[in-house]
Amino acid sequence: MSGLTLPRVLTIAGSDSSGGAGIEADIKTITVHGCYGMTCITALTAQNTTGVKAIFPVADMGFIETALDAVFTDVGVDAIKTGMLASEDTIKTVAKCLRKYGAEQIVVDPVMISTSGSQLLPDSAVSAYLSDLFPIACIITPNLQEAKFLHKVATGTDFSVESLQDAKDLAKELFKLGPKYVLLKGGHLPLSANYRRVTETSPSQIVADILYDGKEYYIVESKFIITKNTHGTGCTLASSIASNLAKGLPVLGAIKRSIDYVHGAIADDLDLGKGNGPINHLHETYIEPLRKRQ
């Protein structure tokens, strides 16, 4: 009699000491999706809801490679999520290992711009994303700031986004960088009901995430939620997508289900800390069932 097996998801990312983002958010997300989570930690961070206090990257590329070898040669991997990759060497090492094992279901969250708009990686590291990681990615999940930055590094030109059509055009440009799918997240471009950019007289009503596969655009709408507690949203979405891919969902289905999951985690408005608090990764598990019984 064989034992229980679970879909296997590997997250390659940095650690968030406050638990809202990074490896910690990924493991929570992978677990509540019914998958088995594994890690390769690329950096330690000292941070909380008010900001990042310090970053300590893993400088030994041999250790990162050994950690990935250990996972792939024993438990095995059905899907991968990459998050904070702290240097050019890290990006190249990770890409080399993923190629070595023929990994296919790779979800790349290109963490390179902070919430305040600061560049977290040198241009050489961003170029390594373009040359080494994006060509083997199944899906990349940039937000608007990251997408514009990637386009500028790749082409040397700025890309202005003022409408949904502009965002679709930008997604098409990013597709040229090599991934099979581009998911351009719409959280930084809240729209009114008629898909116009929000003004003082037209309040935010819609978040439109755009998926592009080289031929078709798919728009996934969510209601815009006013809250400061959105820490870890990008990490959580990417690890949710990886988990749903590992469970066998097609790409569009995995993305729709993951956006719904994250929307629910934001809507719960978990209030922890003095700054921008984390989303509630557990909203579909013990919290919601308890509420329904009351």
Residue position matching structure tokens 């690329």: 42
Please report the sign of the dihedral spanned by the C-alpha atoms of residue 239, residue 242, residue 244, residue 247.
negative
Dist. CA 197–CA 164, nearest whole Å? 8
Q: For 47, what's the count of Cα atoms within 13 Å in the CB-facing half-sphere?
A: 24
- Phi then psi for 278, rounded to 5 degrees? -80, 160
The answer to whether the CB of 143 falls within 8 A of the CB of 188 is: yes
Name the DSSP letter for residue 74.
T
* 263-43-16-13 Cα dihedral, nearest 10 degrees: 20
Q: What DSSP letter does each residue of 204-266 carry, written as one string?
A: --EEEEEEE-SS-EEEEEEE----S--BTHHHHHHHHHHHHHHTT--HHHHHHHHHHHHHHHH
Q: Is the dihedral of CA 158, 160, 161, 163 positive or negative?
A: negative
Which residues are part of the catalytic machinery? Answer: 185, 230, 232-235
Region label for 118, one of left (φ > 0), alpha (ψ between -120 and 50) or beta (otherwise): beta
Half-sphere exposure for 50 (CA within 13 Å, toward CB): 3
For 125, the 3-state DSSP assignment is: helix
Point out which residues pair with 50 in neighbouring strands.
none
